Structure 1
Amino acid sequence: MGNTAVVDAARRALGPVGIALAASLTSPIDIDGQRAAVVRLESAGYRTVWTNETVGGKDALVQLAVLLAATRRTVFGTGIANVWAREPETLHGAASVLAQAYPGRFVLGIGGGYPQQAAATGREFGSPLSKMRDYLDRMDGPTMPPAPYPRIIAANGPKMLALAGELADGALPAGGPPAFTAQARQVLGPDKLLVVGLTMVPGSDPARARQGARERVSAGLAQPWFAAAVARLGFSEQEIAEVSDRLVDTMIAHGEPAAIAAKAGEHLAAGADHVALLPPIGTDFATGVDQAEGLAPALRDLH
């Protein structure tokens, strides 16, 4: 149902801005390279690192166990642990062990995934809201007393946000503009953790970076739920059809480090507790780490 003490501790631990490791959906990344990367990011000043999960690929909780052991103080979060990858009781047990082993250094983000991921496990996708409610209820079922840990839900719509406020410690929306962050904060209220995923396209050439950002928005608009969410935020049909500069600049952080830091700051001002910077899917892992190191100095003054 949520725990105020857990939320307050997570806010302090996460800090204002973190970074997601660049991820591939088709090929594994050498684990020694991941260890070296998170050590570099810790040295660069990042307090929090986020990782993804693929159904039938790497296990997010096992990955975090390895990376937590490789670092001294970095907080790690799953962005996200997929409900189709394991049973809720198994996820709860694994999360509790990590929370006990690394107090204050672990945040569990849970997401409902996609129909193809459900199909890969031989199950029907059904209603994402019903699936998530059932999943959370089973996580809260009778069990040995667990170590407390913050649990947040991937939520990009009002119903899932409301569920996150009801049954979890907060929410993790991604891909939206600061106006959506403000709406999410209003739905959750002041006592829940709000982590916002912000896609970024770094680059010293502003026009090229904006074009890369435009491609990310265009890909998102191919998803009906994303297109509907954009329309609800007041963008006109023409802006959506043309993928206008205003739409691109509002949705994606792109360009020089100062511009990316400024966009993250807009989300913090709109009510986010923490902004997780997300390299576009398919970014080369080593390139993503280099970019993150280059961004770090510009992010240090954010609050």
Structure 2
Amino acid sequence: MNTTEIEAARKALGPVGVCLPVEFTTALDIGAQREAVRRLEAAGYGAVWTNEVIGGKDVLAQLAVLLAATERMVFGTSIANIWAREPQTAHGGAALLAQAYPGRIVLGLGVGYPEQAAGTGREFGRPLATMRDYVTRMDAPTWPPAPAAGYPRIIAANGPKMLALAGEVADGALPAGAPAEQTALARTSLGPDKLLVVGLSVVPDADAGRETARERVTEMLARPGTSAGLVRLGYSEEDVRDVSDRLVDALIAHGGPAAVAAKAREHLAAGADHVTVLLSPGTGFATGVDRLEQLAPALTEVTRLA
């Protein structure tokens, strides 16, 4: 996409959106999903993001239904797992949605994890090379050709190498679960003309929010490379070892609506174009939609003042 098209995507997304809550143990009724996105649209949100792992749900099919259920809402994938479909098929599906609903889709792509590749009978390989190859092959000629409709294509990227790749071969990046310092580095890496969407982990609990957030950070620190990345950003080894208040407060927006809105503003000030709210896993679909509605007045105020 050119700079003008990316600017149009920034405007369409707005500063703040939300991720549709997920269930991992039950299949969500599509009627409940339609009702949820209509409620979120009525609450003032302009963008909703949806996830994908491997099996059970096709995120592009899901978006087709949800786009039809709403009037103006923009939908993004956070992320479309590259092991779920061939690259030319991913492009064809996204282009078809972009043709049917111009300006209302953003395709976020993620390399996922080795076990997800293994689940499809393929080798994970080297993440950077795998992602480069996938994005390159998306535009390979097909018969019949894909619809001639453009859409933003961004890559899930927290580390410096994947961020650099996103700036080279895609329209932007989608880092998640990182502090505002990482958002600033991501903007520097991408430059001003790329789309930067940040996934903000949220525990909307005014009472036990920090302790619940600490549990979430402890889980995040178990991922390979997370601790080292935080130390590179200036957090001490003691912060990481003890899961300090400083670290918890930097990684997770916790507390009431005002606190969540303030954390979203931090990332926007650091260079994000759009911040999307990620509720803690296990929140539950119905409860999560209720909580997103409760956050809406504070978060949509961020959009109004941006």
**With structure 2 as the length reference, what TM-score do the two structures score?**
0.96
Q: 1:151 maps to which residue?
A: 153
Query: Is this contact kept in 2: 1:25–1:54, CA < 8 A?
Result: no
Name the amino acid aligned to 1:44.
A
Match of 1:194 in 2: 196
Show the counterpart of 1:182.
184
User: How far does residue 230 in structure 1 lie from its aligned partner after superposition?
Assistant: 1.4
The corresponding residue for 2:38 is 39
The CA distance in 2 between the partners of 1:53 and 1:217, in whole Å, is 22
Question: For this pair of structures, how many residues does the alignment match?
Answer: 300
Written as runs of structure 1 = structure 2, the 5 A alignment for 1:1-303 is 2-143=1-142, 144=145, 146-205=148-207, 208-302=208-302, 303=306
Alpha-carbon distance between aligned partners in 2 of 1:229 and 1:77, rounded to the nearest angstrom: 26
What is the identity, as a one-letter code, of the residue corresponding to 2:89? Answer: T
Unmatched tracts of structure 2, length 5 or more: none
Which amino acid in the other structure matches residue 198 of structure 1? L
Describe the SS at the equivalent of 1:194.
strand
Compute the displacement of 1:226 (Å).
1.6
- Residues in 2 aligned to 1:103 and 1:64: alpha-carbon distance in whole angstroms: 13
Q: What is the CA distance between 1:231 and its match in structure 2?
A: 1.7
1:272-291 deviation digits (Å, cap 9, x = unpaired) = 00000001122110111000
Is the deviation greater in 24-33 or in 98-107?
24-33
Q: Which amino acid aligns with 2:104?
A: R
Q: Does the CA contact (< 8 Å) of 1:15 and 1:48 recur in 2?
A: yes
Listed one character per residue, the Cα deviations across residues 83-133 of structure 1 (whole Å, up to 9, x for unaligned) are 000000000000000000001111000000011101100111111100000
Cα distance in 2 between the residues matched to 1:202 and 1:26: 23
Q: Which amino acid aligns with 1:229?
A: G
Greater mean alpha carbon deviation, residues 5-14 or residues 224-233: 224-233
Shift of 1:62: 0.2
C-alpha distance after superposition, 1:198-222 (max 9, x if no partner): 00000131xx110111111100000
Instruction: Write the letter of the residue equivalent to 1:60.
Output: V
CA distance in 2 between counterparts of 1:267 and 1:111 reads: 21
How high is the TM-score relative to the length of structure 1? 0.97
> C-alpha separation between the residues in 1 aligned to 2:2 and 2:57?
30
**2:37 and 2:70 in contact (8 A); partners too:** yes
* CA distance in structure 2 between the aligned counterparts of 1:119 and 1:291, rounded to whole angstroms: 35
Residues of 2 paired with 1:44 and 1:132: CA distance? 36
Percent identity, aligned pairs only, is 67
The answer for unaligned runs of 5 or more in structure 1 is: none
Query: 1:232: Cα distance to partner?
Result: 1.3
State the shift of 1:234 in Å.
1.2
Q: Structure 1 segments of 4 or more deviating over 6 A?
A: none
Residue 221 of structure 2 aligns with an amino acid whose one-letter code is L
C-alpha displacement at 1:5, in angstroms? 2.3
What amino acid does structure 2 have at the position aligned with 1:269?
A
Task: Tell me the secondary structure at the aligned position of residue 195 of structure 1.
Answer: strand
In 2, distance between residues paired with 1:149 and 1:170? 12
The separation in 2 between residues aligned to 1:116 and 1:101, in whole angstroms, is: 34
The amino acid of 1:167's aligned partner reads: V
Letter in 1 for 2:105: F
Work out the CA distance in 1 between the residues paired with 2:205 and 2:281: 16
Q: Secondary structure in 1 aligned to 2:199?
A: strand
Equivalent position SS for 2:23:
coil
Alpha-carbon offset, residue 28 of structure 1: 1.3
Cα distance in structure 2, aligned partners of 1:27 and 1:101: 30
The farther-off stretch of 229-238 and 175-184 is 229-238
Which amino acid in the other structure matches residue 274 of structure 2?
A: H
Q: What is the CA deviation profile of residues 133-162 of structure 1, one whole-angstrom value per residue up to 9, with x for unaligned ones?
A: 000000122243620000000001111111
Q: CA RMSD in A?
A: 0.9
- Whole-Å Cα distance in 1 between the matches of residues 163 and 297 of structure 2? 33
Distance between the aligned counterparts of 1:96 and 1:290, measured in 2? 32
